Amino acid sequence: MSTLLSLRRALGDAVDSLPALAGSPAFAAREKEVEDLVRTIGELERAEKLAAGLARPIGGGPGVDVSDINPSQRTLSQIRAMDPRPAQLRDFSDYLGLARKGLDFTPRADAQFRSFGEQLQSIFKHYASKGSEHDPRLVRAPTGAGEVDPTGGGFLVQVDFAAAIFMLAHDMGEILKRVNKIPISANANGLKIPGVDETSRATGSRWGGVSSSWVGEGTAVTPSKPKFRTIEFDLKKLMSVMYTSDELLQDSTALTAIAGQAFSEEVMFMTEDAIVEGTGAGMPLGYMKCPALITIPIQTGQASKTIVKENIDNMWARLWARSMKNACWFINQDILPQLNAMNQAVGTGGQLVYLPPGGLSATPFATLYGREIVWTEYNSTLGTTGDIVLADMSQYTLVDKNGVQAATSMHVAFLTDEQVFRITYRVDGKPMWSVPLTPFKGSNTKSPFIALASR
């Protein structure tokens, strides 16, 4: 256990013991102990904050054999790859089994919880009894002085349960599974990575300032160098709460199944919604809010709440060429009738533009320009900007504490006087593009993120 985590746990224990010492000579001594712990924790936290800028991804790179990595250092992506059979993983219990295999984790009754429901029950008993019924298997979350507030802080989710929740969330999410994910170490609260500051492909602007020229013998070459910008990620806090009934609290098996699935789905939904429309203030920056988004104007005379073939053609034409093999169409399901009616005239006949799943497309998913269509709840409704988006999600980066050490950023607390559990998840994300790219020839800019204007 780290020094900081040990101090926070000691602070929580000291605070919990204060009510019993009220009115006795020992109260002043214990109060001073609390003050000293708060001061020491504050100093260590400031030191960690200064070191956060040095955060680096953890885990092995491409080609690394997962079996050669210490189980305590495996990332969720590496653990997930240990069982490449998505059809076999259906619910929280399946992912929990995979998490324990990847972490080489076998819970011992005297030291760990056997089920997520059992841990939630222990947390409930702790808060309901105001700390008098404390389970020693609970580990306080590293939230420093916030431990004195029962609505802040809480207890770490056991590492196998946390891993299962996150893997299930990422597998369920059609957007989450496509973004570029970078895990960071438990001691870091952010990440800084260099990005090429390229806004134009014109000679002298590629790679932000690298240029070439054909020269004769003895001719001097004008020096050039690439230009970089710093892309910063500062972890944001997502809190998910779940109200429970007295009956559910008594059944650890049902509580495990319901809470595991519910928290996974809520983490997935809120994170994906932020990837699409997040403001960047207290949440990830969504591609719909980033300056790199290109919004395609509608056709002259186009009726409101319609999609025509020319819209699709123009969107595809503005997509960055290198993104054409990765991009997907993210579409609100309200648009489906418009797509079903879309076709291209060929003489007296015609040609389908939208290909539904199966049948003519011979694929399990619908396509436009040969790229998959993903129906989402996050897209705007028909007729408004964002109802149909063409995006390459490999150009969006998500940073979180999603390895084994994610336990330090995921904790659960029981809100006093209410039967409510809360999960905290720390994450940040943003597009890797700052502005659309001006091509080498032509004036129409390109981007991995294309939307259609309101109509």
pLDDT tens-digit map of 241-264: 788 877 888 898 998 989 888 888
Angstrom distance (rounded) from CA 270 to CA 147: 26
Helix and strand numbers (H, E) in the chain are: 10, 17
Angstrom distance (rounded) from CA 301 to CA 455: 10
Name the residue among 128, 132, 150 with its Cα closest to residue 140.
150
Residue with token string 């429970």 = 244
Residue 373 in contact with residue 307, Cβ under 8 Å? no
Which residues, 6+ apart, have CB-to-CB distance to 397 below 8 Å? 179, 180, 181, 182, 193, 231, 233, 429, 430, 431, 432
Mean pLDDT by 10 residues, the chain (455 residues): 62 81 87 88 72 44 57 72 71 89 86 91 84 87 45 72 85 89 72 73 69 69 66 85 81 89 89 96 95 96 94 96 94 92 61 65 75 94 96 92 38 59 84 89 93 96
Check residue 415 and give its pLDDT: 59
- The DSSP-derived string for 224-274 is ----EEEEEEE-EEEEEEEE--HHHHT-HHHHHHHHHHHHHHHHHHHHHHH
Check residue 149 and give its pLDDT: 39
Which residues, 6+ apart, have CB-to-CB distance to 116 below 8 Å? 92, 96, 157, 158, 161, 164, 255, 256, 259, 260
Beta pairing partners, 399: 182, 428
Check residue 166 and give its pLDDT: 82
Check residue 228 and give its pLDDT: 65
Check residue 220 and give its pLDDT: 67
Check residue 173 and give its pLDDT: 87
The predicted model scores a pTM of 0.70
Instruction: Say if residue 177 is exposed, middle or buried (CB neighbours under 10 Å; 0-12, 13-18, 19+).
Output: middle
Name the residue among 223, 221, 220, 225 with its Cα closest to residue 205.
225
Angstrom distance (rounded) from CA 343 to CA 352: 5
- The DSSP-derived string for 96-115 is HHHHHHHHT----TTTS-SS
Residue with token string 């997509």 = 319
Which residues, 6+ apart, have CB-to-CB distance to 376 below 8 Å? 174, 175, 272, 276, 330, 331, 332
Angstrom distance (rounded) from CA 275 to CA 291: 14
β-pairing, 371-375 vs 328-331, is parallel
Check residue 91 and give its pLDDT: 85
Fill in the amino acid letter for 126.
H
- Total length of the chain: 455
Please, what is the angle between helix 252-277 and helix 159-172, to 10°? 50
